[in-house]
Amino acid sequence: MSEKITITFPDGNKKEVDKGINGLELASQISKSLAKESIAIKINNDIKDISLPINSDASVAILKRDSEEALELIRHDCAHVMAEAVQELYPGTQVTIGPAIENGFYYDFARDEPFTVSDLPKIEKKMHDIIQRNKNFIREVWSKEESIKHFKDKGENYKVELINDLPDNEEISIYKQGDWLDLCRGPHMVSTKQIGKAFKLMKVAGAYWRGDSSNAMLTRIYGTAWATEKDLEQHLLQIEEAEKRDHRKLGREMNLFHFQEEAPGAVFWHPKGWTLFQSLINYMRNRQDKAGYVETNTPDMMDKSLWETSGHWDKFSDMMFRTEAKDDKIYAIKPMNCPGAVEIFKQGLKSYRDLPFLLSEFGKVHRYEPSGALHGLMRVRAFTQDDAHIFCTEDQITQESKTVCDLILSIYKDFGFDNVRIKFSDRPEKRVGEDSIWDKAEAALMQAMEATGLEYTLNPGEGAFYGPKLEFVLRDAIGRDWQCGTLQVDLNLPGRLGANYIGEDGNKKIPVMLHRALFGSLERFTGILIEHYAGHLPFWLSPLQAVVATITSDTDEYAYEVQKALVSEGIRTEIDTRNEKIGYKIREHSNSKVPAIIAVGKKEAQDKTVSVRRIGSSETKTFKLEDIVNSLSKEAKSPIEKK
């Protein structure tokens, strides 16, 4: 009699089966249809090939193609099929790695002539052919020597490198699909046909071998893959939706800003865009005033020596703009506001009684960002930080950090961002300061984090060169994440720049400096808001809040009266007396996303009323002039004024 093991199913049922049974056999014991639909198995919560023998008691779930976990397999299998298609169509192309990723998969290839998008339809067609061949994925375990020889003979140098770097005790598995095979950890589904049809190759891109810019550049092909064609369709629609929200497009349509060749990565803010920008600054200034900050302003250019002292020159001089005048000095255009803040702190003798000392600055900084990184307002070379530096004692770190966290979250809420995640980044490889100082800074920040009771994730090695940091990541209306605010504990720069205060004991002490930014970059935050709201900014932020549109020229005079009434209450109002039909005016102002379109014709002029149409609605409501002025001026208040 063969040995038995006990299988526990997700519903808690147990079953005694022969040792060595595999998932497929197990499934067919339950039902034929299940066996037919199974694609993999979850053994003790690890997803495995369904053909893998089960040799000990285990909890087991059989995965069908429509399960959530299947998606990753579909995508990974799809990557393999794409690699086969590419090697079939373009002999001599080397394969490297090809994982499943969010929404799809990619595969990196090494080929002298990179692929272009025009190659994609051909590859896609070949993939469909391969899938139709319905070959099983077959797993084999090879010895290191055997696998190295195989890939070396085939000229797959990258695979050889991968195998060489595998730890000696690791099993080397190979997956075959028909004649084609790939080094792969797995797992995979049963056969290529289970991939289905719901995939599409999306784009080609360059990518460094092993993500290291000193290595060769490979060609990456990205694809998206889904369980059903409906899901694929849905995904493509979502991409379209994101494109519609693109702040670069909306910024032009709404006449907010532009860029031009002479100033790469620097914004030309148009009047409407600048109005929005200023609304954000005013809001933030108000919140900071109430939180006990005092606002400062520091020089845009300072002698290079200051940046050498701070340590910025050593790490970032390549990315700093510099300028010189008739004297022989080299001035750096500030890439950060912190040294300036320290210089202000240093003026006059400070006592422990002055701490915490909260200095804010809407500082415009310049950084020579790599050309390939520039992206509309999201990544620019000249931007404004809502920066602040909190000088405090070590004992105050926890409380001050907690206060900053609360402030950030409260501010994000005012813009409709309720879903915020926090990342904790600790010491990077290249840094200044003793390890003992880092120990202290990290511990203090961690303690503050614990004190807030907020959830966070660890982000090892990603801290600033002078200290660990928290990063605040918010999720927008269509589920995209944006890193905005930051809080950094700095036990290094104040000392380097010679800041101190007189302690309780009468001795000089070096203060701790907390760097923090809430929106982060005002430019970037503006871009995020535009995309988050798809251009439909809330009334208080809308640079143009109302348009008075006339129906006939007979009522121009009354229209001006209406505009004047609104403007005198601070509502940003334009007037449209053009010789156009009202339908045309409605259409135009709707397209440019004006929140309130106020139509006036003979009827309104006679009754001293207005007809209001709000953006997003096709309803028209009639109000008395004074009533609309009152209600709009209430609506125009910022969240702070409303509180």
For residue 371, what is the DSSP state? G
Query: Per CB under 7 A, does 540 bind RNA?
Result: no
Q: Single out the residue of 92, 372, 453, 506 in contact with RNA (rule: CB under 7 A).
A: 372
Q: What is the dihedral of CA 367, 368, 369, 372, to 10 degrees?
A: 160
Q: Which residues contact 48 (CB under 8 A, 6 or more apart)?
A: 23, 40, 41, 42, 186, 187
Q: Which residues of 445-460 are buried (b: 16+ CB within 10 A; e: fewer)?
A: bbebbeebebebeebe
d(C-alpha 198, C-alpha 191), whole Å: 16
Q: Single out the residue of 126, 552, 623, 640 in contact with RNA (rule: CB under 7 A).
A: 552
Active-site residues, by number, are 338, 367, 385, 387, 389, 469, 515
Judge whether 365 and 336 are in contact, CB under 8 Å: yes
How many chain residues bind RNA (CB under 7 A)? 73
CB of 598 to RNA, least distance (A): 8
Query: Per CB under 7 A, does 590 bind RNA?
Result: yes
Query: Per CB under 7 A, does 112 bind RNA?
Result: no
**Mask of contacts with RNA, 261-280, x by CB under 7 A?**
x--xx---------------
User: Tokens 């070949």 map to which residue?
Assistant: 126
Q: Single out the residue of 203, 230, 413, 624 in contact with RNA (rule: CB under 7 A).
A: 203
Q: Quick check: helix, strand or coil at residue 370?
A: coil
Query: Per CB under 7 A, does 347 bind RNA?
Result: no
CB of 354 to RNA, least distance (A): 24
User: Tokens 């929200």 map to which residue?
Assistant: 245
Distances (CA, A) of 490 to 369, 496, 569: 24, 11, 46
- The tokens describing 290, both together, are 């109430």
Judge whether 638 and 632 are in contact, CB under 8 Å: no
Neighbours of 609 (CB within 10 A): 18
Query: Per CB under 7 A, does 117 bind RNA?
Result: yes
CB of 125 to RNA, least distance (A): 19
Site residues for RNA, 497-536, by CB under 7 A, read: 515
**Mask of contacts with RNA, 604-643, x by CB under 7 A?**
x------x-x-xx-x-x-----------------------
Query: Per CB under 7 A, does 345 bind RNA?
Result: no
Q: Single out the residue of 553, 568, 630, 631 in contact with RNA (rule: CB under 7 A).
A: 553
**What is the per-residue DSSP string for 479-492?**
S-EEEEEEEEEESS
Site residues for RNA, 286-315, by CB under 7 A, read: 312, 315
Site residues for RNA, 440-459, by CB under 7 A, read: none
Nearest CA to 158 out of 139, 182, 191 is that of: 182
Query: Per CB under 7 A, does 554 bind RNA?
Result: yes
Residue nearer to RNA on the CB measure, 59 or 309:
309
CB of 578 to RNA, least distance (A): 7
CB of 202 to RNA, least distance (A): 8
Site residues for RNA, 25-84, by CB under 7 A, read: none
Query: Per CB under 7 A, does 379 bind RNA?
Result: yes
d(C-alpha 97, C-alpha 206), whole Å: 14
Judge whether 469 and 423 are in contact, CB under 8 Å: no
Residue nearer to RNA on the CB measure, 163 or 332:
332
CB of 206 to RNA, least distance (A): 3
Judge whether 85 and 119 are in contact, CB under 8 Å: no
Q: Quick check: helix, strand or coil at residue 386?
A: strand
Find the part of the chain contacting RNA (CB under 7 A) among 19-27, 134-142, 278-286, 462-470: 462-470
